Structure 1
Amino acid sequence: MNDQLPGRDLSRTKPLFARALTTLQQFLHVEAVSGVVLLVAAAAALLWVNSPFAQSYHDLWNLPVPLRLGEFTFERSLHFWINDALMTVFFLVVGLEIRRESYEGALSRFDQAILPVLAACGGVVVPALIYLSFNAAAGRDQGWAIPTATDIAFAVGVLALLGKSIPGNIRVFLLALAIIDDIIAVLIIALFYAGGLDPGGFAVAAFGVLMALGFQRCGFGSAYAYVVPAFIVWAGFLMAGVHPTLAGVVLGLITPVRSANPEIGPPVIRVETALHPWVAYGIMPIFALANAGVSFKGMDLAGGAQFVTLGVALALCVGKPIGVIGATWLAVRTGWCRLAPGVTWDGICLIGLLAGIGFTMSIFIAMLAFTDDRLLDAAKLGVLFGSLISVTLGLGWGAEYAQRRRREIGD
């Protein structure tokens, strides 16, 4: 009789465990929670870097972390491994979502898919012009590209805070726009702030892509089989002088959307589902903690530096929405493009406001644009202010939009 007791207890435990596991899985897939985690991590970084323990913040992210393969050693800072390696997984998930939507979703039609491209171009040109209107003077004009890039991780995280009332196609539009935005930013860096691109690196990346496609053709279903080609693509982009995280986008875009075995689902969906909680609750908060630390100590905004701050901030929170919304309206008005199902002009306004969140790429460009620490600090302050204003406006507009959507659905 006693031998039956454990089994009886186990039978009672199994349903409880199953319910707990289901609840945990639902929690992990609620993007609104991930948005809160992301913003908490960003706030923690700001508090940390402006506290008496600020030096420990910088020491942590500058900690050298070596990668050893036999006799080969590749050593970079912890900050590099987070921004240039770990974030590749985030971009992979972004690429997978774009791939899925381009196959049977909001980007499956050309007149819908080209719209984020035109919107991104408007969101690059207008902010640059606004910045230059305040900073045409020699020296300060080098920062014209700082407000041209959208921070995908933060923009998507803020959008997630608004919950499921926001149509999925708006998220897809924002993702596509932000990716194109970053590609344009990378090209700007290569053409105006770097010594050029290395063709040899692109050849290495192309070899990695061909290897991945070959594995697909041979029917390799295990994700582990693609680690080596993924690393080759990443290393190739790094060698070429392109931000290596774009390797994730490339690999996501070539992931199959059909499955040889219908019972297990398409690879593009399986991989995205598996990686989503890791990205939402691990990679993105770590990224925020490592990059949101902007120190206010010792800033000197005299001698024209104040115009750098003003120009960057206004270009992000005003120029980005005007550029994105204006280019979208013009493209739809002329009949070149059309909005995807579920995407309204209220939604386009929300996308435009969230596109003003610059942060990482903007700060990265600022570090390339200015050798003067005073101007660099001023630019970082402008990025922070412009991004915070964009977050506030985006959340305010988005909350009102989500409320209207819920009323419409309820009616």
Structure 2
Amino acid sequence: MKTRPSHQDIPRAQRLAEQAFACVRNLVHREAFSGVVLLLATATALIWANSPYADSYHALWHAPVSFGFGSFGFSQPLHFWINDGLMTLFFLVVGMEIRREIHDGALADLRQASLPIAAACGGVMMPALIYASLNHQGAGLNGWAIPAATDIAFAVGLLALLGKGIPSGVRIFLLTLAVIDDVIAVILIALFYSDGLNYSGFALAGAGALGVLGLQRIGVGLACAYVLPGALMWGGLLLTGAHPTLAGVILGLMTPVICLPTREQPRDAVGRIARELEDDNGTAVASSEAAQSLRELRLAQRELLPPVVRVQLALHPWVTFGLMPLFALANAGVSLGGTDLSSSTSHWVMLGVAIALLVGKPVGVISVSWLMVRLGLCRLPADVSWRGVALIGLLAGIGFTMSIFIANLAFSDSNLLAAAKLGVLLGSLVSAMLGLTWGVLYLRGLRTTQAGGRA
């Protein structure tokens, strides 16, 4: 029987390719690199949208993309499929991360879990109050909800840029706060910027949720089996008028955090199959005889990890290095020219949005968190300090895409809309720069403390 070639027998080209792939894998697992990719995509979008080729930028994202089967057809711009379709996968990963933390992490304690929820409420109310106080008269008041939202993709991406030195509790706090922020923003849109929810879609979304529960009940562990009920949930939420990406959060929270029960323990199955793949002399059996055993081995290996971990690991590189940069490229292209700030209303709309994001978000997050802890209603996670809460508050000031989305609903006047978008861009950019600067100082303080502890 032929033996496998040794490392020395492998062709030089193959060894070089393996080394290159190893470097790529190393970069993929560096969280700071994902933040760099996101910033590059953002810069590309801004340069493109303010260049002589700006028309091609807008034409690309408004190009219709259609799906049809028989007499049924559904057509939406490419921008919709990215923001409302593909971003569901991002929210799925976010939901699964929160689910894991609720099970045995920073959110397992009710007093800890309630703190980011309270902080999110403070981060919604304070910016809205600041904006309303600066625009209490005239048409500008209708934009009070614009600075209430947090752009979860950009906030988490910039936190990743700081690297793995950031405590996991800070990341989970920011994730939870941003998700609650977006849920509140969706509720505000439904109550104040639309004709209300279309309740017929809830039946379809409910059917999808029941389908997920049914598949889990009968022990289906194959991820692709959940695509159809997940699509039903997405379509149902779209029909209601709610943001359909919430389907990703719901699915993530429904993902099992423990391995599905099997007749044979996965570890025992792996050992048994490994023995079956060797003959009496300890050499590998023929590939034709091993095919069935190898299939069983792959299934046993799959069941060694809980579904929530398995799916999260599979989606992480695609979401981090594919979806999030694409999202940034499609949404960060805000035109900086052509905004008329000569009128008092547009001037204060721009300032109101920028100041509310830059000041209102961190003040709201920090003050409400401090008050809840001071009253004994909540407590800080073990690895989160008040400096960490300040970092979360600054990053929460990145409103960007959700704020721009609300601005489109709030203002029909093109000049007020342009002023609001400029305010969102300025407030978000300054919040991001302050957040990164504070994050570097925060990390330096953590390293100093750790070094002092070891000494």
TM-score normalised per structure 2: 0.87
1:299-314 correspondence to structure 2 within 5 Å: 299-303=339-343, 304-314=345-355
Deviation (angstroms), 1:31: 1.2
Paired AA for residue 112 in structure 2: Q
Q: Which residue identity lines up with residue 299 of structure 1 in the other structure?
A: T
What is the match of residue 373 of structure 1?
Answer: 414
Aligned to 1:199: 199
- Amino acid corresponding to residue 273 of structure 1 in structure 2: L
User: In the alignment, what sits opposite 1:151?
Assistant: 151
1:174-213 equivalence runs, <5 A: 174-213=174-213
2:167 aligned partner, one-letter code: P
In the TM superposition, what whole-angstrom CA distance separates every residue of 1:10-63 from its partner, at most 9, and x where no partner exists? 288877766554443232121110111101101111100100000000000000
User: How far did residue 193 of structure 1 move?
Assistant: 0.2
Question: Which of 289, 312, 319 is matched with 1:272 structurally?
Answer: 312
Greater CA radius of gyration, 1 or 2?
Answer: 2
Structure 1: which 5+ runs fail to align?
A: none
1:75 aligned counterpart, secondary structure: strand
Match of 1:328 in 2: 369
Which deviations, in whole Å up to 9, do the C-alpha atoms of 1:179-219 show, x marking residues without a partner?
Answer: 00000000000000001011111111111011011101111
Q: Tell me the secondary structure at the aligned position of residue 302 of structure 1.
A: coil
In the other structure, the counterpart of 1:337 is: 378
SS at match of 2:10: helix
Counterparts of 1:7-406 in structure 2, within 5 Å, are 9-10=9-10, 20-260=20-260, 263=267, 264-303=304-343, 304-406=345-447
Shift of 1:298: 1.4
Q: How many Å apart are 1:292 and its aligned residue?
A: 0.5
Amino acid corresponding to residue 401 of structure 1 in structure 2: Y
Change in 2 beyond 3 A, CA 1:101/1:19: farther
**Percent identity between the two aligned chains:** 59
For residues 125-168 of structure 1, what are the alpha-carbon distances to aligned partners after superposition, in whole Å with 9 as ceiling and x for unaligned?
10001001110112110000000000000000110111111101
Amino acid in structure 2 at the alignment position of 1:300: D
Change (3 A) 1:410 1:14: farther
Residue identity in the other structure for 2:174: L
**Shift in alpha-carbon separation, 1:5–1:128, aligned structure 2, 3 A:** closer
Check 1:305–1:27 CA distance in 2 against 1; reply closer, same or farther (3 A cut): same
Paired with 2:44 and 2:19, the residues of 1 have a C-alpha distance of 33
| Paired residues, number | 409
Provide the alpha-carbon RMSD of the alignment. Answer: 1.8
Shift in Å, 1:221: 1.1
Q: Which runs of 5+ in 2 are unaligned?
A: 268-303
CA drift of 1:404 comes to 1.3
Maintained 8 Å contact 1:29/1:276: no
C-alpha separation in 1, matches of 2:411 and 2:217: 47
Amino acid paired to 1:88: T
3-state secondary structure, aligned to 2:341 = coil
Range that drifts further, 250-259 or 28-37? 28-37
Distance 2:306 2:313 in 1: 11
Deviates more, 1:243-252 or 1:13-22: 13-22
SS at match of 1:165: coil
The CA distance in 1 between the partners of 2:249 and 2:122, in whole Å, is: 22
Q: Name the aligned partner's letter for residue 63 of structure 2.
A: L
Q: What SS does structure 2 have at the residue aligned with 1:228?
A: helix
- Partner amino acid, structure 2, of 1:281: F
Deviation at 1:9, TM superposition (A): 2.2
Q: Distance in 2 between matches of 1:15 and 1:268?
A: 34
Query: 1:253 and 1:226 mapped to 2: Cα distance?
Result: 14
**Matched position secondary structure for 1:108:** coil
2:359 & 2:160 partners in 1: Cα distance? 22
Deviation (angstroms), 1:255? 0.1
TM-score (norm 1): 0.96
